[in-house]
Amino acid sequence: MRVLIATSNPGKFQELRQGLEPLGWACVSLLDYPLKMPKEEGATFEDNALLKAAFAAKETGLAALADDSGLEVDALDGEPGVYSARYGGKTTDTERNIYLLERLRGVPPEQRTARFVCVLALAYPDGHVETYRGEVEGRILEAPRGSGGFGYDPLFYLPEAGRTFAEMPPEEKARYSHRGRALRALIEAYKDGPPPREVTELE
């Protein structure tokens, strides 16, 4: 199956493409189909992922997979949440990380708990859609560590691994990450072929 991964972020595309390899899907990105995507104005990760996937599937005639993901920090009442990619109006990962650290200044380590959330939406041109969710719990460090990954990875410390996402090689990050968990849920659903679709009887 040919699938459009509805992102122009090379790091995110690479993670999703590699994660989907067990299904043997041929993956392309928005670099191959330069669509003007709708704004992410949903109140939840599910809203935004579904919006992007459905739009891309309709515009291209391909099955489209969209991801909406972000960081939820408990001490900030769940911020940045769905605004993770534009937190504080900052335009780069480094600026957003600095802004997050400023917002958490003075918060002790034990209160810097957070989670990464990812929702994958798979939409087909006929209007059928599916969603898969993954979460991982950790905490926010007081300074970045590691040079890998992207986004908030240098600040997100995973206690069970003893390192940040930015300190992990891609294979290890995929094993632990929110995106990896959502991908495994999707792969499980498709391991024996497409899952049955719900049928709504007409009245």
Distance CA 15, CA 19 (A): 6
* Cis omega (within 30 of 0) for bond into 109: no
Q: Is 68 tagged catalytic? A: yes
CA distance 121 to 53: 6
State how far Cα 14 lies from the chain centre: 12
Tokens encoding 21: 């390899």
Closest CA to 122 of 174, 177, 67: 67
Of 68, 74, 93, 192, catalytic: 68
Is the Cβ–Cβ distance between 149 and 161 less than 8 Å?
A: no
Residues placed in the known binding site for Mg(2+):
68
Q: Which residues are annotated as a binding site for substrate?
A: 7-12, 69, 150-153, 173, 178-179
So which residues are the catalytic ones? Answer: 68
